């Protein structure tokens, strides 16, 4: 394990530990505010904090586990566990939303008088600000170190701060108007928002587990290949990419001159692997299936003084995502013959 990888792992672990510690502290703050005021809205905020702690603890486990190097049992490493963590977190958010609805709907018919709203409001406002800052930190750190678990946890924590804002607005209205039914109404609104957020987090984790294509990354990948392009890279195709934790995998087929020696083919593969990962700013691996050229590829080939050429070369075509992700019959043939 190199020093860069170790530094990334330490950053991921530190962020996950901070999330658990701050989540525990905020739960006790919000629970205290609930016992002081008796507010269903504050109870909903406190219940979400319980979810934060459980989900952050799972995220911590996932981050620690995903940092393990590949082994005989898991040759692609443990990075996918972070997507399981994100899915678990989404499910926990949905369960919290349903629980809040279960508690809050009956309160419309039996509203409770609220006490010491000033102190309760002060406590949850402080908690909301801390939660928002923690969410910003987790999202930023998660994106920098490519951790799905930290990003999902950050979005959840940040959404908790908006939940708190809604609770504060609702309780201020109760304080000003004396309408106690606003308290369970705010709690229900919080619950519905949690259901929406939980569904989004779960959906994103499932698309990650199924290796859904990322159009933004694929465009970046093809742009990098275009910049690094060499005459011997005749026709890339079947281009794909997926991610496991912080590790990015890219694979494609590449047509090369059929007269190249094995050493030259191997060196080309090595150059592409190193060059692409460096250009993309990723840690990962490029896997290439090499195909020897045939006469049909001559119009695409830019090799000077090719000893086996049977057709004249045409001006090089710009590589685009739809061309490089396709399989044979290669779309580049059609374009080269226009």
The structural domains of the chain, with segments of one domain joined by +, span: 3-209, 215-336
What is the pLDDT at residue 338? 42
Closest CA to 256 of 297, 223, 199: 297
Within 10 angstroms of residue 192's Cβ, the number of other Cβ atoms is 12
Report the C-alpha gap between 24 and 29 in whole angstroms.
Answer: 9
Summarize pLDDT for 187-225 with one digit per residue, the tens.
Answer: 788 788 888 888 888 888 888 888 888 889 999 999 999
**Is-above-0.85 flag for pTM?**
no
Beta strands 235-244; 247-256: pairing state: antiparallel
What is the pLDDT at residue 330? 57
What is the pLDDT at residue 328? 61
Residue with tokens 């908690």: 127
Task: Give the three-class secondary structure for 42.
Answer: helix
Instruction: Check if the beta carbon of residue 224 is closer than 8 Å to that of residue 217.
Output: no
Report the C-alpha gap between 318 and 263 in whole angstroms.
Answer: 28
What is the pLDDT at residue 23? 85
Domain 3-209, what fold? Answer: Alpha-lytic protease prodomain-like (1.20.1510)
| Burial status of residue 306 (CB atoms within 10 A of its CB: 0-12, 13-18, 19 or more) | middle
What is the pLDDT at residue 1? 47
What is the pLDDT at residue 287? 93
Summarize pLDDT for 277-310 with one digit per residue, the tens.
Answer: 999 888 888 999 999 988 888 888 889 888 999 8
Ramachandran assignment for 38, one of left (phi > 0), alpha (psi -120 to 50 degrees), beta (any other): left
What is the pLDDT at residue 273? 93
Domain 215-336, what fold? Answer: Alpha-Beta Plaits (3.30.70)
Q: Which residues of the chain have pLDDT under 70?
A: 1-6, 111-112, 328-338
């Amino acid at each position: 394990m190199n020093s860069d990888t170790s530094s990334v792992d330490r950053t991921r672990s530190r962020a996950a530990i901070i999330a658990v510690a701050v989540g525990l502290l905020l739960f006790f703050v919000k629970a205290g505010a609930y016992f002081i005021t008796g507010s269903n809205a504050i109870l909903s905020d406190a219940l979400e904090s319980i979810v934060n702690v459980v989900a952050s603890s799972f995220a911590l486990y996932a981050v620690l586990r995903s940092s393990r190097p590949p082994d005989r049992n898991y040759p692609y490493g443990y990075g996918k566990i972070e997507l399981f963590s994100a899915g678990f977190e989404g499910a926990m958010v949905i369960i919290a939303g349903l629980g809040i609805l279960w508690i809050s709907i009956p309160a419309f018919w039996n509203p409770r008088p609220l006490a010491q709203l000033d102190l309760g409001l002060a406590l949850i406002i402080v908690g909301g600000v801390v939660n928002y800052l923690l969410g910003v930190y987790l999202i930023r750190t998660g994106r920098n170190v490519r951790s799905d678990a930290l990003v999902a946890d950050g979005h959840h924590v940040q959404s908790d701060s908006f939940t708190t804002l809604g609770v504060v607005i609702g309780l201020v209205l109760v304080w000003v108007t004396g309408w106690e039914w606003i308290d369970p109404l705010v709690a229900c609104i919080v619950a519905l928002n949690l259901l929406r957020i939980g569904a989004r987090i779960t959906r994103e984790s499932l698309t990650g587990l199924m290796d859904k294509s990322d159009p933004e990354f694929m465009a970046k990948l093809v742009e990098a290949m275009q910049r690094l392009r060499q005459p011997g890279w005749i026709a890339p195709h079947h281009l794909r990419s997926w991610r496991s934790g912080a590790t990015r995998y890219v694979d494609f087929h590449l047509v090369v001159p059929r007269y190249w020696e094995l050493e030259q083919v191997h060196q080309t593969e090595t150059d592409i692997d190193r060059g692409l990962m460096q250009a993309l700013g990723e840690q990962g691996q490029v896997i290439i299936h090499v195909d020897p050229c045939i006469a049909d590829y001559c119009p695409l080939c830019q090799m000077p003084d090719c000893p086996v050429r049977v057709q004249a070369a045409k001006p090089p075509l710009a590589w685009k995502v739809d061309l490089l992700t396709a399989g044979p019959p290669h779309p580049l043939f059609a374009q080269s013959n226009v």
